[in-house]
Amino acid sequence: MSLGLLVGRFGAFLSEQPVSFFDSTPSEAAFPRDLERLREKFGHHIVLLTLLSRSDGEAAMLEREVILHHCLEQAHNACEPATAAEAAELGDYLRDLRPTTAQLGPSLRRLERGTKEEVIAVVAAAIAVVDADGARRPREVVFLTDLRRELHAL
DSSP string over 84-151: HHHHHHHHHHHHH----HHHHHHHHHHHHTS-HHHHHHHHHHHHHHHHHTS---HHHHHHHHHHHHHH
Q: Is residue 29 part of a domain?
A: no
The total of structural domains in the chain comes to 1
CA distances from 69 to 3, 86, 143 (A): 24, 12, 23
pTM, two decimals, is 0.86
Q: How confident is the model at residue 140, as a pLDDT?
A: 83
Q: How confident is the model at residue 18, as a pLDDT?
A: 61
| 48/122 Cα distance (integer angstroms) | 9
Q: How many CA atoms lie within 13 A of 75 on its CB side?
A: 23
Q: Cα-Cα-Cα-Cα dihedral of 116, 120, 121, 123, to 10°?
A: 140
Domain that holds residue 64: 3-24+34-153
Q: Is residue 52 part of a domain?
A: yes
DSSP state for residue 60 in the 8-state scheme: -
Q: Is 138 exposed, middle or buried (0-12, 13-18, 19+ CB in 10 A)?
A: exposed
Q: Is residue 41 part of a domain?
A: yes
Per-residue pLDDT tens, the chain, 154 aa: give them. Answer: 688 888 888 888 888 766 555 555 555 457 788 889 888 989 999 999 998 887 766 667 899 999 999 999 999 999 999 999 999 999 999 988 888 778 889 999 999 999 999 999 999 999 999 888 777 778 888 888 899 899 888 8
Q: Is residue 102 part of a domain?
A: yes
Q: Is residue 65 part of a domain?
A: yes
How large is the C-alpha radius of gyration of the chain?
14
Q: Is residue 99 part of a domain?
A: yes
